[in-house]
């Protein structure tokens, strides 16, 4: 007994004093159920990322989320998610007082606690090395010391491999998140890192030789992974999978250049071609998507439902499991414990189950001059109250009923649904919700239920064009500071969101990203992600955007701020003068 204790002590201590993988292997006393990589990856679907938590810089709790709790994990489990990816940034937790690169034991224990809680809750767990990839492990910065990167990475995985050696087969190690780089040289170092990772976790012992691992290509990007990733040749019995991340198309996912629509045949074909490229290069290798996310904060509702539906259908087709990213503001509100778009999550699960989702129709034509969405019924102040038609894509479903905000079932005289999916709400019913003079804002949420699809919500809004105070309708470019964000107060009259902003010089030319002239009327001249944002008080032009306005070549700039619905005229103009 005594010698076993000493052996365990040594096993725990040796990696700390000699982190290069020469330590004695951990011996485990518990049982391990070996699984194939294919089955382990299948079991991840669908999963959820504990984002902006243990990966926050410098500490858990430093960003927008409180430390993880077992209650949070239980809530995610209760919603049906099968796996949790736990991103961990180790960069700020190396013990500076010890030799080498020793992880602070308190932090290591904290990570173990969260991993244990997730395993105890019944999840498959993916544990990784996260933002380290843009701190000490970034090989693309000038003067990067690749010897140090390789040594530190190897030491880190030797320690993680030792600490977690006896965990169950539900724990997957992911070598590194989104490693930077774009060249063969970068790819070569990463391949070496992957090989060293396999080496030290194997040498750490325990169940690691049978543990499923997730290897990374540059950026965990499909194209770069196909270009530079080398399959491991050492440890041929190690079950492994390839992981990639998917945030495409960028402009839709990040609400850039006015792309608030998604779902055309071309959009779908582009997504499928990406998945197919990975599949073609990795046939026979289990693959999964460790991050993807049409965020509730930045995508239009009906377009997001379509995206979730098609995205998951396509992951099913290729056998890619998918773990949704959630930074704490994207999908699940952790403090008040609710899904920000419960329908979007329902659509996701229904697609995982292989069932056809009824979907709200929405504009997909890139040449459209205005945008419609059946997630909303918009009524403009002053407009006559009439029958309204709202189109759906039924995908084999039948409408079984409609309820109002209070849960009361609408009567058959209140609406009809055509076999083509057009819901017609009667003027007499709509008159009970709004008149020409009803105050702008949210009026009601109708819930449509279907034969074999999740319920869809239809939000009824009365709207008028938002009000820009005269004091904020004109700014002098010279008096703006290019290092300071500009807040422009707006009184919304309807949905409190900005949809897009367009910037034209006084002569009508496009101020930034001139190539957007080739896009449709909803996108021409629109500014991108990172230039602007909004909240319920108005628009913010971020410093980066202010700098672009100031670099107008001596001309004034007219900024068109567009709201929902994106119908002609539902916008205000802010002028920037020289």
Ligand X SMILES: *[C@@H]1O[C@H](CO)[C@@H](O)[C@H](O)[C@H]1NC(C)=O
Binding mask 151-180 toward ligand X (x if CB under 6 A, else -) reads x-----------------------------
Instruction: Check residue 333 for interaction with ligand X (CB under 6 A).
Output: yes
CB of 333 vs ligand X, minimal distance in Å = 4
Q: Which of 4, 36, 109, 370 binds ligand X (CB under 6 A)?
A: 370
Instruction: Check residue 280 for interaction with ligand X (CB under 6 A).
Output: yes
CB of 279 vs ligand X, minimal distance in Å = 7
Instruction: Check residue 281 for interaction with ligand X (CB under 6 A).
Output: yes
Provide the CA 514 distance to its chain's centre, in angstroms. 28
State how beta strands 338-339 and 332-333 pair.
antiparallel
Question: Are the C-beta atoms of residues 302 and 361 closer than 8 Å to each other?
Answer: yes
CB of 330 vs ligand X, minimal distance in Å = 9
- 25 vs 8: CA distance, rounded Å: 9
Q: Which residue lies nearest ligand X, judged by its C-beta?
A: 280
Whole-number Cα distances in Å, 487 to 298, 314, 431, 574: 19, 41, 38, 12
Nearer to ligand X, 223 or 543 (CB): 223
Provide the CA 376 distance to its chain's centre, in angstroms. 23
Instruction: Check residue 395 for interaction with ligand X (CB under 6 A).
Output: no
Nearer to ligand X, 153 or 292 (CB): 153
Binding mask 100-139 toward ligand X (x if CB under 6 A, else -) reads ----------------------------------------
Whole-number Cα distances in Å, 26 to 1, 112, 237: 16, 16, 19
Q: Which of 22, 148, 353, 467 binds ligand X (CB under 6 A)?
A: 148
Instruction: Check residue 145 for interaction with ligand X (CB under 6 A).
Output: yes
Instruction: Check residue 554 for interaction with ligand X (CB under 6 A).
Output: no
Nearer to ligand X, 87 or 556 (CB): 87
Nearer to ligand X, 151 or 506 (CB): 151
Query: Please, what's the b/e burial string for 525-553 (b: 16 or more CB within 10 A of its CB; e: otherwise)?
Result: bbbbeebbbbeeebbbbbbebbebbeebe
Q: Which of 162, 170, 298, 363 binds ligand X (CB under 6 A)?
A: 363
Residues pairing with 401 in the sheet: 449
Instruction: Check residue 336 for interaction with ligand X (CB under 6 A).
Output: yes
| Contact positions with ligand X (CB under 6 A) in 419-448 | 447
Region of 12-20, 31-39, 220-228, 553-561 interacting with ligand X (CB under 6 A): 220-228
Instruction: Check residue 192 for interaction with ligand X (CB under 6 A).
Output: no
Counting Cβ atoms within 10 Å, is residue 382 exposed (0-12), middle (13-18) or buried (19+)? exposed
Q: For residue 550, what are the contacts with CB-CB under 8 A and spacing of at least 6? A: 477, 480, 482
Write out the two tokens for 188: 């070569």
Region of 144-152, 173-181, 482-490, 504-512 interacting with ligand X (CB under 6 A): 144-152
CB of 470 vs ligand X, minimal distance in Å = 30
State how beta strands 321-324 and 47-49 pair.
parallel
Query: Which of these, 199, 193, 62, 177, lies nearest to 129 by C-alpha position?
Result: 177
Instruction: Check residue 353 for interaction with ligand X (CB under 6 A).
Output: no
CB of 101 vs ligand X, minimal distance in Å = 9
- 207 vs 368: CA distance, rounded Å: 57
Q: Which of 403, 487, 505, 558 binds ligand X (CB under 6 A)?
A: 403
- 387 vs 523: CA distance, rounded Å: 31
Ranges assigned E (strand) in 66-185: 83-86, 124-128, 171-174
Nearer to ligand X, 208 or 331 (CB): 331
Instruction: Check residue 184 for interaction with ligand X (CB under 6 A).
Output: no
Region of 42-50, 51-59, 141-149, 501-509 interacting with ligand X (CB under 6 A): 141-149
Instruction: Check residue 509 for interaction with ligand X (CB under 6 A).
Output: no
Nearer to ligand X, 104 or 455 (CB): 455
Region of 25-33, 219-227, 267-275, 502-510 interacting with ligand X (CB under 6 A): 219-227
Binding mask 451-480 toward ligand X (x if CB under 6 A, else -) reads ----x-------------------------
Nearer to ligand X, 441 or 506 (CB): 441
Start-to-end C-alpha separation, the chain: 83
Q: For residue 7, what are the contacts with CB-CB under 8 A and spacing of at least 6? A: 24, 27
Q: Which of 109, 140, 335, 431 binds ligand X (CB under 6 A)?
A: 335
Question: Are the C-beta atoms of residues 502 and 541 closer than 8 Å to each other?
Answer: no
- 54 vs 86: CA distance, rounded Å: 7
Instruction: Check residue 401 for interaction with ligand X (CB under 6 A).
Output: yes
Q: Which of 210, 226, 248, 264 binds ligand X (CB under 6 A)?
A: 226
Question: Could you say which DSSP state residue 194 is in?
Answer: H
Q: For residue 479, what are the contacts with CB-CB under 8 A and spacing of at least 6? A: none
CB of 329 vs ligand X, minimal distance in Å = 5
- 548 vs 567: CA distance, rounded Å: 27
Q: Which of 24, 144, 366, 368 binds ligand X (CB under 6 A)?
A: 368
Instruction: Check residue 372 for interaction with ligand X (CB under 6 A).
Output: yes
Instruction: Check residue 98 for interaction with ligand X (CB under 6 A).
Output: no
Nearer to ligand X, 18 or 168 (CB): 18
Binding residues for ligand X, rule CB under 6 A, total 24
Counting Cβ atoms within 10 Å, is residue 41 exposed (0-12), middle (13-18) or buried (19+)? buried
DSSP 505-518: ETTS-BSS-GGGGG
Ranges assigned E (strand) in 247-293: 287-292
Ranges assigned E (strand) in 247-366: 287-292, 321-324, 332-333, 338-339, 359-360
CB of 269 vs ligand X, minimal distance in Å = 15
Region of 1-9, 155-163, 364-372, 504-512 interacting with ligand X (CB under 6 A): 364-372
Question: Are the C-beta atoms of residues 263 and 364 closer than 8 Å to each other?
Answer: yes
Binding site for ligand X (CB under 6 A): 145, 147-148, 151, 223, 226-227, 277, 280-281, 328-329, 333, 335-336, 363, 368, 370, 372, 401, 403, 447, 449, 455
């Amino acid at each position: 007994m005594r010698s076993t204790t000493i052996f365990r002590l040594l096993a725990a201590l040796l990696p700390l004093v000699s982190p290069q993988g020469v330590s004695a292997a951990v011996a485990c006393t518990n049982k391990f159920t070996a699984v194939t990589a294919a089955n382990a990856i299948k079991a991840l679907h669908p999963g959820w990322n504990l984002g902006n938590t243990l990966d926050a810089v410098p500490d858990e709790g430093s960003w927008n989320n409180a430390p993880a709790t077992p209650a949070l994990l239980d809530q995610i489990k209760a919603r049906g998610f099968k796996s949790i990816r736990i991103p961990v940034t180790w960069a700020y937790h190396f013990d500076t007082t010890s030799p080498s690169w020793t992880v602070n034991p308190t932090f290591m224990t904290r990570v173990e606690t969260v991993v244990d809680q997730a395993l105890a809750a019944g999840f498959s767990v993916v544990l990784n090395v996260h933002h380290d990839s843009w701190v000490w492990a970034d090989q693309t910065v000038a003067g990067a010391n690749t010897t140090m990167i390789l040594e530190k990475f190897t030491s880190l995985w030797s320690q993680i491999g030792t600490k977690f050696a006896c965990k169950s087969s539900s724990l997957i190690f992911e070598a590194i998140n989104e490693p930077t780089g774009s060249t063969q040289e970068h790819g070569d170092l990463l391949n070496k890192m992957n090989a060293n990772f396999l080496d030290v976790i194997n040498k750490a012992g325990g169940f690691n030789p049978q543990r499923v691992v997730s290897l990374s290509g540059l950026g965990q990007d499909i194209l770069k992974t196909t270009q530079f990733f080398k399959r491991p040749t050492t440890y041929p019995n190690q079950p492994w999978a390839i992981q990639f991340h998917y945030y495409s198309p960028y402009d839709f996912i990040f609400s850039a250049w006015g792309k608030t629509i998604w779902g055309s045949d071309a959009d779908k074909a582009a997504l499928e071609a990406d998945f197919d490229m990975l599949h073609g290069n990795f046939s026979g290798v289990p693959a999964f998507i460790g991050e993807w996310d049409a965020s509730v904060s930045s995508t239009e509702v009906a377009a997001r439902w379509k995206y979730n539906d098609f995205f998951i259908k396509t992951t099913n087709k290729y056998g890619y499991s998918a773990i949704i990213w959630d930074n704490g503001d994207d999908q699940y509100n952790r403090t008040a414990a609710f899904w920000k778009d419960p329908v979007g999550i329902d659509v996701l699960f229904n697609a995982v189950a292989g069932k056809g989702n009824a979907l709200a129709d929405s504009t997909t034509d890139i040449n459209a001059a205005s945008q419609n969405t059946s997630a909303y019924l918009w009524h403009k102040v002053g407009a006559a109250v009439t029958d309204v038609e709202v189109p759906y894509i039924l995908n084999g479903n039948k409408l079984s009923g409609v309820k109002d905000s209070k849960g009361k079932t609408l009567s058959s005289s209140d609406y009809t649904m055509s076999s083509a999916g057009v819901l017609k709400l009667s003027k007499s019913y709509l008159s009970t919700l709004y008149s020409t003079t009803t105050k702008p804002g949210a009026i009601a949420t109708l819930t449509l239920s279907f034969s074999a699809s999740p319920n869809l919500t239809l939000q009824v809004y009365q709207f008028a064009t938002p009000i820009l105070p005269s004091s904020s309708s004109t700014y002098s470019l010279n008096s703006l500071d290019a290092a300071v964000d500009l807040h422009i107060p707006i009184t919304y009259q309807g949905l409190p969101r900005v949809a897009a902003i367009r910037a034209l010089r006084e002569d009508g030319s496009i101020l930034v990203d001139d190539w957007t002239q080739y896009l449709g009327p909803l996108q021409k001249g629109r500014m991108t992600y990172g230039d602007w944002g909004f909240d319920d008080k108005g628009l913010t032009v971020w410093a980066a955007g202010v700098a672009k306005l100031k670099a107008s070549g001596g001309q004034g700039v007219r900024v068109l701020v567009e709201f929902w619905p994106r119908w002609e005229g539902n916008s205000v103009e802010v002028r920037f003068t020289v």
